[in-house]
Structure 1
Amino acid sequence: MEHIAARPAPAKPPAPILRILFGDAVSALITVGVIGLIVMMLPVLDWAVFDAVWQGDAEACRAGGACWAYIHDKARLILFGIYPPDQQWRPVVVIVLILAMVVASLSPRFWNAGLALLWGGAIAVMLVLMKGGVFGMVDVPTAKWGGLPVTLLLAVLSLGMGFPLAVLLALGRQSNLPVVKGISVCVIELVRGLPLIGLLFVAAILLPLLLPSDWTIDKLGRTVAALTIFAAAYLAEVLRGGLQGLGKGQAEAAQGLGISYWKMVWHIILPQAIQKVIPPLTNTAIVMVKNTSLVMIVGVFDMLGAGRAAAGDPAWPAPFTETYLFVAAVYFAICFGISVYARWLERGVKRKSYA
């Protein structure tokens, strides 16, 4: 049989320049839309950057453009609220402590009981610093706490105390004991069926009426309690999804080896369940950080409330836009940092699973 030489592949016709730049029709529409959006935002860039007032007083800001000089002038009020100015070194130390503890907690290698105790001690130190009244520090009531330290403390306390409660609720909802399961289901569904604003009003207004007359709970403490219960209910459902993804084989194998229930949960079940639900856990954490801005409704002076109070200064030409942009930038930095960390953590889990 005569051998036939292989023919070269047919030459691919050159793609049109528009297809190279934009791809298919859908990609072209999206590209054109994005270009149009950028063009529409050019006046905003003029207002925010080129025509902005970066230094000066209120009179300089009346000429037009963004008044970033106002942010420079009111930064202490926005970040620390009405906390006494001569004592604002204390909330600064609290912010530094929170950041230091977060950095120390990034690596999963340090996730143990010692880290939990360290967090407990750090939180106690933060609360003592904010409150004062000891070690020669001036006593500052919680009514004067405000700004970024309150936002960070609310987020850390609600998530930190809500996570153990969420584990118990998730395990209880999967329990074979009817009473435990019923209580867990009622708590989760009741809290998830209420808006956070309603829960905050219940904690701030109705809770003191339901307690004995000689019991007093600080408004900030009631707010933390409401946020903690709210976070626990949502985290419990996220964790339950991770527990369901494991199946019954893990628990049965552990029981067959004689491992006690809580050791099985702590060392076998829970770590694997958390690895499966890192993205929804991250989403819940970000939502809780943003939800701290709602406490302003019940009179807790968080960063958003401090920003609103600062923007009410009649000496400045209504700088509400700049205030909200500044507060939004701080919230975005916090939430984006959580998102970046979660992606790093997820990549580490995948590397271990493939190793």
Structure 2
Amino acid sequence: MPHPARPTVTLHDVAAAAGVSLATASRVLGGSSRTVAPEYARKVLAAASELRYTADVSARAMRRRSDAIALVADDLTTPSIGIVVAAMERQARTVDAFVSVSSTRGTPERQLETVRTLCAFRPRALVLTSSRIEAAALGGRLLAELLDYERQGGRVVIFGDTDLPFDAISIDNHASARFMGAHVAGTGHRRVVILAGSRDRANVSARATGFAEGLAAGGVAESAVRIVNCEVSRQGGYDAAARLIAAGLGETDAIVCANDVIAIGALSACRALGIDVPGRVSVTGFDDIQLAIDVTPRLTTVALPLAEIGAESIRLALAAGAPGQSDPALPVGTVSAAPTGGGAIRELVRGTLVVRDSCASHAR
């Protein structure tokens, strides 16, 4: 049997119980900067506690901007975005702000719907993270929504590739992946499969292209590089590697993966199906998540400064003044941080190669 709803307690009820005016109760419970005599403040707080009063956050948001920083992300289940969000929250707490998080599954329609909903609550700033956010998406409606929010005093920061006119941090996935391709070629590998993830994900697509260019620069023939698309997940990596093994690896001596999660799935498939890594085939990843050093063999990968990027996103979001006027503390690996022609800051972050046990030298 459902419990009856608890009667709504209003600010008027608290003021009456405390024997003070509505304005005094509002100043105590609403975070006003105006001073209230200590005895009245104690009465209001006691009455609010006794009546179990809960502030109407949505109504308060209509009157003033909140202390929330709203993060809009494609997918909250990946380890890499988990690192970013945790760093954002730590940085926000240093200024008594907090981070709320929403997922959009990476579709422009959900991004627009989520941004519209969040803007109604007047957050202090919006941070959008996606593999690609374009100004022309949905006929420019997302851009128009964000510009309107900014005109009302909000701040917008993008983490990802974008042509939107806001401060942004992006990863040079292409150049970072070239490092890995060159390393795999330089260690003697000559038959390579790239587990490239999904074609519709701009970040992993750029990595696949970078891998291929790095391999070619290191002397691997284009015909000896095979690109296989798969789901961007551990299961996607496992299934793709298992199919390769079932079909016969032939002369394949390296599996280069678009991220660590795919690579960990590929390692699991190799272990389950009796393929020695790195003796028979090398496996590499990208991101350098915590699990990269917990798997056996430890994963050779490209490290991205994800925690620094998360903290920097919040610093940009909380910067005073107009976009492009901040003085950012640049993340490790940043190769440029210059204002664009429109004044917005663009920070480009490049990864670093981390060599571990899963990639060994192979005889040419």
TM-score bracket relative to the smaller structure: under 0.3
The structure richer in strand per residue is 2
Higher relative contact order, chain-length normalized (CA < 8 Å, sep 6+) = 1
- How does the TM-score come out when normalised to structure 1? 0.26
- How does the TM-score come out when normalised to structure 2? 0.25
